[in-house]
Structures are given as structure tokens and as C-alpha cells.
Amino acid sequence: MPAKAEKRAFGGGRKPSERPSKICPVCGLPFSWRKKWERDWDSVKYCSDRCRAAAKAAQ
């Protein structure tokens, strides 16, 4: 049998508890990797649009 080609994204294919996470600088809560952020996880700073808007309003 041929070896199964394994395509593994940064967080995909892992259990939710094993996915990478970050701390939101606005609300201080942890948030974890989502499929939506697969391509630009390194540039994701905020956990939500609400926190991003609050950071922008505070400037």
C-alpha cells in the first residue's frame, strides 16, 4: 500500500486542545487557531472584530 500523503496545516488536523493559541491584547483572553486564519496566523492580533475596532478607537 502506498503511504498516505499527509497535508497538515498549522493547526488543522489537530485536536482543539493541541492547536496554537494567542492572547488578545485588548480583552486579555486567549484565542486559538481557526481555519479562517490558516494563511495569516502570524499576523492575527485580535480575537474578534469587536476587539480590533476597540483597539483602533483607542488610538
16 within some domain: no
Query: Distance between CA 44 and CA 51 in Å, rounded?
Result: 12
pLDDT band at 55 (very low <50, low <70, confident <90, very high): very high
43 within some domain: yes
The per-residue pLDDT for range 4-50, each reduced to its tens digit, is 555 555 667 888 788 899 999 999 999 999 888 889 999 999 999 99
32 within some domain: yes
pLDDT score for 48: 95
Query: Distance between CA 18 and CA 49 in Å, rounded?
Result: 24
pLDDT score for 14: 81
Q: For the chain, what is the domain count?
A: 1
Tell me which residue range forms the domain holding 39: 21-58
40 within some domain: yes
- The model carries a pTM of 0.71
Query: Distance between CA 14 and CA 12 in Å, rounded?
Result: 5
Q: Is 38 left (phi over 0), alpha (psi -120 to 50) or beta?
A: alpha
46 within some domain: yes
Query: Distance between CA 23 and CA 30 in Å, rounded?
Result: 4
